[in-house]
Chains A and B, each alone.
Chain A
Amino acid sequence: MEGEAGNFTAKLKSEPRFIDPLRCTGCGDCAKVCPVTCVSEHNCGLDRRAATYIRYAQAVPLVFAIDPEICIGCGLCEKVCLAEAVKYDDQPRYNDLKIGSVILATGNEVFNPSDFDTYNYALLPNVITSMEFERILSASGPYRGHLMRPYDREEPKKVAWLQCVGSRDTHHCDNPYCSGVCCMYAIKEAVIAKEHSHSGMEAAIFFMDMRTHGKDFEAYYDKAKEEGVRFVRSRVHSVEPVGDGDLEITYADETGEIKQEIFNLVILSVGFQVGQEGMELAGKLGVDLNENRFVKTESFAPVATSREGIYVCGAFQGPKDIPQSVMEASAAASASSLLLNDVRWTEAKVKEKPTERNILGERPKVGVFVCQCGINIGGIVNIPEVREYAKTLPYVVYVEDNLYTCSQDTQVKMAQVIKEQGINRVVVAACTPRTHEPLFQETMSNAELNKYLFEMANIRNQDSWVHSGDPTQATEKAKDLVRMAISKVTLLEPLKESELGVTRKAMVVGGGVAGMVAAKDIADQGYPVYLVEKSSQLGGQAKKLFQTWRGESIPAYAEGLAKEIENHPNIKVYLNSELKHVDGFVGNFKSTIQNGGEPEPVEHGITIIATGGKEFQSEEYSYKKHPRIVTHQELDQRFNENDPSLRSINSAVFVQCVGSREPDRPYCSRVCCTHSVESALELKKINPESDVYVLYRDMRTYGERELIYQEARREGVIFIRYSLENKPQVEVVDGKVQVTVFDPILQRSIRMQPDLVTLATAILPNETDALSQFFKVPVNAEGFFIEAHAKLRPVDFSTDGVFLCGLAHYPKAIDESIAQARAAAARAATLLARDSIFFSGMVAFTRPIDCSSCGVCVSICPFNAPRFIETGRDAGKAEINPALCKGCGLCVASCRSGAIGLRGFDDSQIFAMIDSV
């Protein structure tokens, strides 16, 4: 790759597939006849695949490829492929791309534990990796989701998970970091395996620290314990074969006693590492890697690499789980789009909207197109019989069958036929609407027909493919499905996709780091932003913190950012202000900001909620009873002020999990372990002779933060574990602070009189009720906002046009808040970049005359689409906003007056299908 940020030229090589993806229909006949096989990479070598293959059945697009490594060139696949997609002479393709920015999202590889000789992974078939076990549990995996072990395909009765294999380890490998995801996936695998088991499988997880620091993870951990998953705190020494495929584990328990236990299956919870390919790619692009071989980034610019214009997200940036990867992905999109601002839409092609024939008042004239799909349908279902049958059905004016209805030439012909025959409803009997509906609908648009006058009969995926042994019944079923589709299509009406203008302005609620980053990204992209902050200054919690775990000053960053925000021409800051009222919906919000005495109305297209959190103030541990007992933020304050008294601290104690992971506040506050280690190191730096103790339950220095935990131990910080049942005591005795804790290694209580006690108190969300009401977005029992999907949509709400970032979502470190804020900005920009948005025509509508104003629809709709009409003749009745309606039909099925219809899936249409079965 050559050039510089904003103007790169990349040379791209595409390996040949040997099967033309434009012609391949995904039928799989080629794979069926292929005579050679090799191990399947996707199933981790647990089963085999042919040389013509798709990696997995859900692949998009569903097209095959030939693996040249094992293909013997017999020519069988070419012979059976009726679509003529096989191309043995396919060549690599080279493309020069002119691009402005690059995003690295290549992921990384899982650790290969073959070198761990004491675990015998390479020798024993019943010692497997967690990835292999994922495939075993998968319904589409090698054992079809049946819980079996590889050696004898017996169901294991006792399974052990060994944590930190290839993570937190510099002896067997060079991976000192924590992979951050393995604790959680091991618990998940244990719970699911128990569900799959027929004989009450026993599960045991051998771990060092249980790191369930994600949102709702701690509750899952608690539930797993209740369900009988056994957690054993130990680093397992060795795995040896015993009996017929069983395995004996040797480990030392917490008191140092050596124990042995026999299991039927042992799973190694392997971590992440950047592989050779990743390192080579970074070298080629001139991107620096850090000491752990992940792409080097900084806390305040978590997705920027060392080379300007190249961004990174996901596991190549550092070990992380899915939600964090998704956030970074959107953050990288936001960062890279700033470089492309000037050229936005310049290469976009505007699609001409075809004119639409008005079919109002016409009698239905149905055209039926039956697909043979090569031999995939035609080989089982008697196509001529179905075709002739369709001709006899009411309203059908035209029927034909095609070898491949989806092929380009058939599509052209189909458009022609629709026009010539005056067809006004189309039924295609072929594969599945989930993949092919858009294609046929486009053909209808080209034929000047409204695309909603269409229905598919699924006679391949749900008929010929699954009833290949019974052609007669399959043909009968195909006829039924075609008849049902025709009965529905005759009742369909042309639908309009409503267009709605977008107010291209943003509202950001909350002026902490998350809110400021989101506001700046949106403003830098050229859209005006209203930033509303409750307090008298910007900066939020960041002003009260000292430094990141990497040693970067947080107040300095927050101050610099606040200055940029205040001077930004596109950002209007409202301090001492709150939202008083919100009306409207995606693209068209109308809000009132209470700024001092005068309420100010503003209009905005999107809203970002970044209301943040605060430090929990506990009564516990004698807090406020002695000046030497402080919270993290109070200690940070003293670091920031360079307090000289810190130099005279000779002993300090940190108490973890104050108000977190307790019965009345079950979540883990995620950042406190790292915070304590970072502060402990700082105290050691100020006075290297001091004794520093950290009293913890599990050290959760996840990801690369593990490195400062190791550093702290090297520097002599002493870590003492305590349990929830036996918490440390902090008392004030004769004017002195006294800490008593039970040390599980010494098996006795220790008493200390430290100069300083720091309480790692929980993070609480700020007050959320009003915003939750205004934007109709949900809040969980702990007061954090609930995102649309915990894994896949971590910054969206189910309400369109409202986004979420920062501590209001869940406790998180500043680099993660920044990534999430940039992600929210990117998601917001997808709406702000357009003048108007189009909505699907398949939405619900009310008939006010039938409405009894009961309000069921208003209360059950997850998207807040129905509301009561406020004025006019139908005041008090419900109406549905097509801009918010997703077309799920929940209100339609729940309306007790039958006053709601659903376009495209209306009662009459579904009844017609039922009637015609």
Chain B
Amino acid sequence: MSNWEPKIIAFLCNWCSYGAADLAGVSRMQYPPNFRVIRVPCTGRINPKFILSALRHGADGVWVSGCHPGDCHYIEGNLYARRKFALLKNLLEHTGIEPKRLHFSWISSAEATKFADVAREVIRTVKEAGPAQHFIKKQAEVA
């Protein structure tokens, strides 16, 4: 358990946060390798089912990051995403999923430092929550 490392799925929008992740690389900023990034055109593309599916398939946390309000490449997709995400987070908390597993942020393509900082913070809080077991049925029950 002591060397357990969480697996976190990050949905990053192509225009801002994915760019920030690239720039963090160009600037050689270091952060732990817990993320698996899925690139989406816009955070507005993210169906809440993606997040549920990620948790069900064993991800310990999910991080959604898009453009700052007002900077969306598609005008306002990020605002719709924020609304959906707020509702989903409430719902998941209601069903017993720790809010610490779910993260939402705005990071522009120039904010590499912020990307690395938020990445570390997301990993830290997901670690606090421990391995996700909510969706994993015990072997005996399945059988």
Q: Is the CB of A914 within 8 A of B45?
A: no
Q: In whole angstroms, how far apart are the Cα atoms of A484 and B35 in the complex?
A: 13
User: Which residues 1-53 in B have Cβ within 8 Å of A in the complex?
Assistant: 5, 7, 9, 14, 18-19, 21-33, 35-42, 44-50, 53
Q: Is the CB of B40 within 8 A of A57?
A: no
In the complex, A535 has a CB within 8 A of chain B: no
Q: Nearest Cβ distance between residue A744 and chain B, in whole angstroms?
A: 37
Instruction: State which of A139, A433, A862, A894 has its C-beta within 8 Å of the C-beta of B76.
Output: A862
| A917-B36 CB under 8 A given contacts A57-B26, A461-B22 | yes
In the complex, B112 has a CB within 8 A of chain A: yes
In the complex, B138 has a CB within 8 A of chain A: no
Residue of B nearest to A477 (CB): B33
6 nearest A-B residue pairs (beta carbon): A889-B45, A461-B25, A888-B74, A890-B44, A465-B25, A862-B75
Q: Is the CB of B45 within 8 A of A888?
A: yes
Instruction: State which of B18, B25, B45 has its C-beta within 8 Å of the C-beta of A892.
Output: B45
CB-CB contacts of B87-102 with A at 8 A, as 1s and 0s? 0000000000000000
Which chain A residues border B135 with CB–CB below 8 Å?
A: none
Instruction: State which of A460, A477, A860, A887 has its C-beta within 8 Å of the C-beta of B36.
Output: A477
Q: In whole angstroms, how far apart are the Cα atoms of A791 and B11 in the complex?
A: 28
| A886-B26 CB under 8 A given contacts A434-B18, A902-B45, A914-B50 | no
Q: Is the CB of A57 within 8 A of B113?
A: no
In the complex, B129 has a CB within 8 A of chain A: no
Give the B-binding residues of A (Cβ under 8 A). 26, 28, 57-58, 62, 138-140, 144-145, 432-435, 458, 460-463, 465-470, 473-474, 476-477, 480-481, 484, 788, 798, 842, 860, 862-863, 886-890, 892-894, 902, 905, 907, 910-911, 913-915, 917
Q: Nearest Cβ distance between residue A375 and chain B, in whole angstroms?
A: 13
User: Which residues 56-90 in B have Cβ within 8 Å of A in the complex?
Assistant: 57-59, 73-77, 80-81, 84
Kindly count the residue-residue contacts between A and B in the assembled complex, taking CB atoms under 8 Å apart: 158
Which chain A residues border B40 with CB–CB below 8 Å?
A: 889, 905, 910
From B25, B40, B57, name the one whose CB has the most chain A CB atoms within 10 angstroms.
B25
Which chain A residues border B54 with CB–CB below 8 Å?
A: 914, 917
Which chain B residues border A907 with CB–CB below 8 Å?
A: 47, 49
User: Which residues 95-124 in B have Cβ within 8 Å of A in the complex?
Assistant: 109-114, 116
Which chain B residues border A893 with CB–CB below 8 Å?
A: 44-48, 80-81, 84
Q: Is the CB of A914 within 8 A of B53?
A: yes
Count of B residues near A, CB < 8 Å? 54
Q: Is the CB of B41 within 8 A of A462?
A: no
Known: A434-B14, A434-B18, A914-B57. 4 other contacts (CB 8 A): A458-B37, A477-B36, A917-B9, A917-B54
Give the A-binding residues of B (Cβ under 8 A). 5, 7, 9, 14, 18-19, 21-33, 35-42, 44-50, 53-54, 57-59, 73-77, 80-81, 84, 109-114, 116
Which chain B residues border A145 with CB–CB below 8 Å?
A: 111, 113-114
Q: In whole angstroms, how far apart are the Cα atoms of A911 and B53 in the complex?
A: 7
Q: In whole angstroms, how far apart are the Cα atoms of A465 and B116 in the complex?
A: 12
Which chain B residues border A480 with CB–CB below 8 Å?
A: 36
Q: In whole angstroms, how far apart are the Cα atoms of A892 and B43 in the complex?
A: 12
Q: Is the CB of B41 within 8 A of A917?
A: no
Which chain A residues border B37 with CB–CB below 8 Å?
A: 458, 462, 481
Q: In whole angstroms, how far apart are the Cα atoms of A477 and B41 in the complex?
A: 22
Q: In whole angstroms, how far apart are the Cα atoms of A481 and B38 in the complex?
A: 9
Q: In whole angstroms, how far apart are the Cα atoms of A846 and B42 in the complex?
A: 19
Which chain A residues border B14 with CB–CB below 8 Å?
A: 434
Q: Is the CB of A58 within 8 A of B110?
A: yes
Q: Is the CB of A890 within 8 A of B28?
A: no
Which chain B residues border A842 with CB–CB below 8 Å?
A: 41
Q: Nearest Cβ distance between residue A46 and chain B, in whole angstroms?
A: 15
Residue of B nearest to A433 (CB): B39
Residue of B nearest to A484 (CB): B36
Instruction: State which of A57, A886, A892, A910 has its C-beta within 8 Å of the C-beta of B23.
Output: A57
Q: Is the CB of B114 within 8 A of A476?
A: no
Some 26 contacts from A to B, beta carbons below 8 A apart, are: A57-B23, A139-B114, A140-B112, A144-B113, A432-B18, A432-B25, A462-B22, A462-B24, A462-B35, A465-B25, A466-B25, A466-B28, A466-B30, A467-B30, A469-B30, A481-B37, A798-B75, A862-B75, A888-B74, A889-B42, A889-B77, A892-B47, A893-B48, A914-B9, A914-B54, A914-B59
Q: In whole angstroms, how far apart are the Cα atoms of A911 and B76 in the complex?
A: 24
Q: Nearest Cβ distance between residue A138 and chain B, in whole angstroms?
A: 7
Q: In whole angstroms, how far apart are the Cα atoms of A474 and B34 in the complex?
A: 10
Q: Nearest Cβ distance between residue B63 and chain A, in whole angstroms?
A: 13
Residue of B nearest to A483 (CB): B36
Q: In whole angstroms, how far apart are the Cα atoms of A211 and B115 in the complex?
A: 35
Q: Is the CB of B57 within 8 A of A139?
A: no
Q: Nearest Cβ distance between residue B24 and chain A, in whole angstroms?
A: 6
From B29, B35, B47, name the one whose CB has the most chain A CB atoms within 10 angstroms.
B47
